[in-house]
Amino acid sequence: MKRFIFILCCIVLCIPSLPSVPLVSAERALLQTERGTIGMGSAGVALASSPSSFLFNPSLLYVRREEKGFFTLTGSYHDSIQPANFQKNLANPLLQNPFTHLSVSFSGNNVALTLQNQVSLNAREEGSGFTRYLGRTDTLLQLDWATGRSFFAFGLNIKALAVSERYPLDISHDRILSDFIVQTSLGKFENRESEAFISVGVGLLLDYDWFKMGVTSEHFAYALGSGSLQISADAILKTLDWGFSFSTPTYDSDNILHLFKLQAALDLVDLWSEEKREVRMGFDLKLQLLPSWSVSLKSGYREEKILSGDLLRFEFAKGIHTMGLSAQLGTFTLDLAFEIPIARYRGDSRDGRLVEGVLALSFSV
């Protein structure tokens, strides 16, 4: 183990001497499967809250090493809420920027295979008797592996993304639901080879039970389109995430289930990126009825930080408040979450940001 850590440190120290190349950012358009943390400001780099937590940081897979394996199936629907569509009495007031997401994961002791498929509709245009969109499909195959010893864990993931688009994609006003299902699931999409890529990500975790600290980078190495695999210090730093989490015990000293459990998380995301740097934070207050039956109330906050010097300074007018409600019923988990720009509370919609809503259902055994 010591030899492994020494080799890893040598690799990291040598990376800055490699040439800097443009960063591939297409992967950021594909949302994480772990929908439960959206209500917590989407913080999750060091948060082991569900069977899908390793999708944020591959080293979190090591936390589940004592389990023989698991299977997780997740489906979700996400859309923006535009009040003006209802005020104008549009025939299709919903489906502003909708997307559906389906994910399935298989895992052993320290390895997991995940397939994600997301269909999104963008660039909405109103037509005569229909609404027109640009349709996009993102299909991601991800392999995660983790190892560790005592309180330290190291994780590695390999991702392959395929992208396809379709334009125009029309949804008729007289059969909105059926058209949405047919057009997004059976319609023909054209492959976009230039946007496909393969990436290798790494993650580290310090786990002291009640306190965890995680560090991860999505692009330790990557290849765009038909290009060769590259290692770039610029890409590693721009996708570098650093997170902390705190949690109260699930059981007391007599192995009796606590009635309440509190989890809190803080993430610094894309630390060296001038376009996507963010601070994310949130908490989850869980009412534990049984070991596998619970209800959770979540709340959080997100804010973009264009300048690195703004990391510790907050401008709430530019931030986003998140809230969520989750219910675990045995092997099923239902999540409902919203992202609300703070400016909306003040009646200010000049920046064009909309309220976002997510409904997700997952099954895990």
Per-residue pLDDT of the chain (365 residues; tens, 9 = 90+): 444 444 444 444 343 333 333 444 434 445 544 556 889 999 999 998 888 888 889 999 998 776 666 899 999 999 998 888 888 888 888 899 998 999 999 988 889 999 999 999 999 999 999 999 999 999 999 999 999 998 999 999 999 999 999 999 999 999 999 999 999 888 889 999 988 989 999 999 999 989 999 999 988 898 988 788 888 888 898 999 999 999 999 999 999 999 999 999 999 999 998 888 999 999 999 999 999 999 999 999 999 998 877 888 888 889 999 999 999 999 999 999 999 999 989 888 777 889 999 999 999 88
CATH number of the domain that 130 lies in?
2.40.160
Residue 231 is given by DSSP the state: -
Longest dimension (CA), the chain: 67
* Separation CA 67–CA 51 (nearest Å): 11
For 38, phi and psi rounded to 5 degrees? Answer: -60, -40
Question: pLDDT tens, 63-102?
Answer: 877 666 689 999 999 999 888 888 888 888 889 999 899 9
Pair type for strands 211-224 and 197-207: antiparallel
Write the CB contacts of 223 (distance below 8 Å, at least 6 apart in sequence).
197, 198, 199, 229, 230
Q: 10 Å Cβ neighbour count for 292?
A: 13
Name the residue among 24, 25, 26, 44 with its Cα closest to residue 34. 44
Question: pLDDT tens, 5-59?
Answer: 444 444 443 433 333 334 444 344 455 445 568 899 999 999 988 888 888 899 9
Provide the β-strand partners of residue 338: 323, 357
How many domains are contained in the chain? 1
- Structural domain boundaries, residue 220: 2-364
